[in-house]
Structure 1
Amino acid sequence: MEADTLELESFLPYRLYRLADAVSREFSRVYKDRHGLTRPEWRTLAGLGQHGTMTATALGEQSAMHKTKVSRAVSRLERRRWLARKPDEKDRRVEHLTLTNAGLAAYREMVPLAKAFERELLSKLSTGERVAIAEGLAALEAALGR
């Protein structure tokens, strides 16, 4: 192969993207079938379920979603009455987002399904492979300052 060509199939960033996308698509069947959620809606629901009250900006940072996707997901979850907005008392441009009781119930229903999905995925690997992946991911995250 020439020095000025790139073999995408062995290029680490490409492989990581493809793998993450494949896993995300596979998991999306769980929340799409159960609740008809999109990926941004699931990520918003999961972020609020884990952290409680958050701003849209914090949700975007936590889930690596563009603010437009966060905004649309927030609007759709609000229409479902799964999410409530409360304006910030000091800065009216900021809203604090929380799950409603219905949203929290949906989140709590999804947690064991998400954990089962993860267990099933990891069960296809040996113990050594699971350890290697966890350590490799941690090392890459540390190298990138995450």
Structure 2
Amino acid sequence: MISRKVLVTPTVLFAFTDRNHPRHSEASAFFRYFAQEKFHVFVTSFSIAKTYDQIKKHTSFSIAKDFLRIIYTGNIEIVYPDEVVTKAALKLLLTNTGVDLGLEHALINVIADRKQISQIAAFEYNNFYFGIQQFSLPY
């Protein structure tokens, strides 16, 4: 059986950890579905840092530490952009004619492409390249 893969962005991670977030129930449903369907879940190192900072700023330091503990002990694979990935993301930014693609999303797209991850779980608007699609729950 081919393993299904998904890369999770900071918006989904933050909504999942903050029970008062308007999209918390949707983020929780994502993770329940990932577990039930045995998805291989990926997160970038910079997404962890961004989410940790958001939780610490908007919720509390102790919940931010709990978030790190979950990432550390969980079955989520952490991916790191190396020099090749970073240069590919920079090239994508430099050759992209649109102004709405930022470095974070360029890196996410390149990492997903290199790891053969076909779906990205995100709540924010995102340009997807390389045939990558936004994850949505089947209804």
TM-score, normalised with respect to structure 1: 0.30
TM-score, normalised with respect to structure 2: 0.31
Task: Return the structure number with greater relative CO, CA threshold 8 A, min gap 6.
Answer: 2
